[in-house]
Chains A and B, each alone.
Chain A
């Protein structure tokens, strides 16, 4: 029983990161936006949910469902503003700008005491159906809830990838000028996808709040963004399955290294080495599986007409490498 609860805890956290990775895959993977603002939308979603659903004095005390919807709407609105101002920028410039926005959101949460209770944060937050399922078994239920939501995210992202919109997004990623030349609206599409992806991240913020039962600005440092990007790179940029596998492998490897038996005196050393192992894993994957655990796959015209292009790598500008036939 204990083992099940323990694994459930890891599955829940892995699932949360997997949802983040899928959301990031929508704009970072399929559309190719260099977005380092993930933790910002994550924090915004989490705070929106908390401030709306928690009882006074901190929140409005509205039902949880409204909190979840609000987290998507508020994150979407703010990302509309961020996107409108930042999406005219490309690659590294967009990267710096989105990173800055994420920092601003955290700093606001740190300093606006009246709204967020500052550095102390808000603790003892409620979890869905907590009264119905008491005790430590709750974690098993919660892991199931996360997995169900993850299923929804995967289904949605996969449908998006296979849709005309998905092809359109990849076209923008691979060559903006060509896409523009056939009369497509680049900026509008980017903005749409950016807002969609941010809202998806915002909703994951609710799950994170449930998992943590506390919200404080120091939960939203840029390490979250880097973890999600690492998961996506590990799993395979552009592939939704890859995003999920990458996130789970990352979380599980970090935790499994805890079980290396060492005498207490060397535990500090081991703690340092554990992080080294995660780093090594990333380097090894990049060296031997440069496309991640699973490379990006999509329905292509070539395959549709059974053309002899199987396994050919089409080199694209901007260092792109896409396995057309998969």
Chain B
């Protein structure tokens, strides 16, 4: 009996501690979204779990944007931006819990970072809570026509990138490909539009093989691909499976040319599979021209601040742009709130208006009462009615153990 009492006591102690902890935090911070000296902005994403490898650089990109805004004096007469990172463990359940914390306990004005499924899960919730969800890498075609009200993304839609990829292959005289696609939403959505466009333009998919994540071996899948003897294989899957497949293909002596998804366009891929295997692998990613001033500046600042080069496939510039654009929207709206962002973000990023490509410049123009058109590090950032942007694209290729831009395609390439 005594033991039970102790157990009960300890349990209730933990309970009260937690409740006290959360309510004190909640009460204290609830109003700070609009009244305090700092404005809370959430970074809501998987810091652990399968998104973990993406987000560690994204966290840095948020810091970079935050520091740039605060160093320029903040917005709304000296209010600074405070980024709160919330880990979702890369699950939808984690995103919902995390979003509730950001909205109700932290009084955050925006939640930057959810992936496709979490965006879809929060789609109805965001307009109610009046805290926009903004994704830098949710590319799914499912989001093409449902966002726009408290839901935005700077990631290019898979439908667009699929079209661009197909057109680039056809333009380069490649008419036949085999496809390896991961059995998950992101990969399937990525291949869907590619397949349609490629076949429309006269190309032929020789074989499409679906693989599951976490298999011990992919020899069976590779054998199926080899049976049609393709010149080029398109790999649509994650960075977690890529090394196993690429090494196995190398060992079996398949000398196919490879195109991969943007997810694989990171330095770790080359480091893991080795320079020899990675050499010549190509990908099309939504990325600004390397010579674009804003993109160059972002890369240089990132390198200076964190002593590392940001990876093209991790949507770092897209993350950075979301925070800068949100801050400019709040300044334009004259209020530190999610509604101000929702209302003004198109106004500060879309034409007409004076083109600006830094936060400082934008702030100055807004203060002078000018209309602005923010040109981001990830592209021109013009949101359409459904909260999507049209991106420009780069063909990347591994040369001497590094991802290099081989070709640049402006946003109007498809037209």
Query: Is the beta-carbon distance between A119 and B62 smaller than 8 angstroms?
Result: no
Least distance between A33 CB and chain B CB atoms (Å)? 25
B28 to chain A, nearest CB (A): 10
Scoring A residues 78 to 112 as 1 if CB is less than 8 Å from chain B, else 0, what string do you get?
00000000000000000000000000000000110
**Contact in complex: B8, A248 (CB < 8 Å):** no
Minimum Cβ distance to chain A for residue B61 (Å): 11
Decide: A212 and B92 in contact? CB cutoff 8 A: yes
A13: chain B residues at CB < 8 Å are 93, 97
Give the contacts of B122-173 with A (CB-CB under 8 A): 123-125, 128-129, 140, 142
Residue A26 at the B interface, CB < 8 A?
A: no
Residue from B18, B56, B103 within 8 A of A136 (CB atoms): B103
Chain A residues contacting B140 (CB-CB under 8 Å) are: 120
B83 within 8 A of A: yes
For A183, list chain B residues within 8 Å (CB): none
A10 to B101, CA, bound (A): 9
Report yes or no: B4 in contact with A123, Cβ–Cβ below 8 A: no
**B121 contacts chain A at the CB level, 8 A cutoff:** yes
Give CA–CA (A268, B163) in the complex, Å. Answer: 35
- CB neighbours (8 Å) of B84 from chain A are 264
Q: A225-277: which have CB < 8 Å to B? A: 245, 248-249, 252-253, 255-256, 258-259, 264-265, 267-268, 270-272, 274-275
The one of A6, A7, A214, A326 in contact with B117, judged by C-beta atoms closer than 8 angstroms, is: A214
Q: Given A136-B128, A213-B124, A268-B55, decide whether A3 and B22 contact each other with a Cβ distance below 8 A.
A: yes
- Cα–Cα distance between A245 and B52 once the two chains are bound (Å): 31
> Which B residues touch A311, using CB under 8 A?
1
Within 8 A of A (CB), among B176-207: 183-185, 188-189
Majority SS of interface residues in chain A? helix
Number of A-B contacts (CB under 8 A): 162
Stretch from A34-42, A49-57, A192-200, A287-295 that touches the partner: A287-295
Chain B residue nearest in CB terms to A255: B97
Q: Report if A219 contacts B (CB, 8 A).
A: yes
Is A5 an interface residue, CB under 8 A from the partner?
A: yes
A144 part of interface (Cβ distance < 8 Å): no
- Which residues from A are CB-within-8-Å of B85? 264, 267-268, 271
**A124, B26: Cβ atoms under 8 Å?**
no
Residues of B within 8 A of A (CB): 1, 3-4, 7-8, 10-11, 14-15, 17-19, 21-23, 25-27, 30, 43, 47-48, 52, 55-56, 59, 62-63, 66, 83-87, 89, 91-93, 96-98, 100-101, 103-105, 107, 117, 120-121, 123-125, 128-129, 140, 142, 183-185, 188-189
Which residues of chain A have a CB within 8 Å of any CB of chain B? 2-3, 5-7, 9-10, 13, 110-111, 118-121, 123-124, 134-136, 138-139, 211-214, 216, 218-219, 245, 248-249, 252-253, 255-256, 258-259, 264-265, 267-268, 270-272, 274-275, 289, 292-295, 311, 326
A-B contact pairs, 25 of them (CB 8 A): A3-B23, A6-B22, A6-B26, A9-B104, A120-B140, A120-B185, A123-B142, A124-B120, A138-B128, A211-B96, A245-B11, A249-B11, A252-B15, A255-B18, A256-B18, A258-B87, A258-B98, A258-B101, A264-B84, A271-B87, A289-B7, A293-B10, A294-B4, A294-B7, A326-B1
